[in-house]
Structure 1
């Protein structure tokens, strides 16, 4: 489910951007969408782990997909392709709402808002924006380290009590997801 959801998020944003985008910019748009979803709904869209890296905050497993660590037969490999100069592009065209079946209307609305607000920025402009406006990101000095959900919740204006409750809810969701995965 993770790969399908992130692929659909990526395709949706690429579709709104003429089908091609610098992967640094894409990574930031995806991060900002998850961040906004957590602010609004207490949960991310992708379900990915957030990490601080030298070029700002990223979604860990999504980063791996973007830089080419994927199965060609999977949804990412069928819908998304690598391009020269650190670009990614859509392999498919004419995607419509039914193609985004992993994404709710609320999640698509978050992607729309993020694209509207940040889609016109260049890759380094959006990178700098995340450095300056996402206090949960800390410069890892050439390495990477996790961004704890509580830090993100506090950064987007939640109180300590709200952040603790939201983290507890996320932990319960992850536990249920693991149980559900063993039943399949």
Structure 2
């Protein structure tokens, strides 16, 4: 308990496209940090993640595990070859790290609160350099996690100052939801 939520692939793809539409440089690092801060904010305010992804503590900060797998598949660096054509209808890459979007985000997949938190994260990250984003995301949640391991939802919530009662409530809520999926 504490690290897993249910990944929402279609929502995540639309969140990626939405973030990419609103930043000048569409590199993987920036998109991943936007998703992290948006998910963190949404989890704290509304009790659920936008993407449902699990964030891994990587050297340059939290990385959404399933989104990273999607990016690897599109780049041809993954065993997810069965869905590459479907994914390539949304985006591709230049030099393996810069995203090229092929469609606009379908915001019907994103709730008002999803868009609110994505907009806030985009504003927070859009003008930041690689190093600034890395430093910003090297928060306590990241620091408390062994490299290449999942960051706990509890630590993500504690990072934004949520009290222990709320942290435990959300952790139980997510665990209960996952039991019925």
TM-score tier after normalising by the smaller chain length: 0.7 to 0.9
Residue 40 of structure 2: aligned partner: 35
Aligned pair 1:104/2:114, yes or no? no
Residue 7 of structure 1: aligned partner: 13
Of residues 149-158 and 40-49 in structure 1, the stretch that sits farther from structure 2 once superposed is: 149-158
Residue 67 of structure 1: how far off its partner (Å): 2.9
- Bigger relative contact order (CA 8 A; separation at least 6): 2
Residue 149 of structure 2: aligned partner: 145
CA distance in 1, matches of 2:151, 2:145: 11
CA distance in 2, matches of 1:128, 1:22: 17
**Is the 8 Å Cα contact of residues 53 and 139 (structure 1) preserved in structure 2?**
no
Residue 116 of structure 1: aligned partner: 123
Instruction: Note the residue ranges of structure 2 that are not aligned, 5 or more in a row.
Output: 1-6
RMSD of aligned alpha carbons: 2.0
1:6-60 per-position Cα deviation (integer Å, ceiling 9, x unaligned): 1100100111124x51111111111111111111112110011122111111111
CA distance in 2, matches of 1:3, 1:35: 18
Number of aligned pairs?
168
CA separation of 1:15 and 1:90: change in aligned 2, threshold 3 A: same
TM-score, length basis structure 2: 0.84
Matches for 1:52-91 after TM superposition, within 5 Å: 52-68=57-73, 69=78, 70=80, 71-74=83-86, 76-84=87-95, 86-91=97-102
Give the alignment partner of residue 44 of structure 1, picking from 49, 61, 85.
49
Residue 165 of structure 2: aligned partner: 161
TM-score, length basis structure 1: 0.83
**Is the 8 Å Cα contact of residues 80 and 89 (structure 1) preserved in structure 2?**
yes
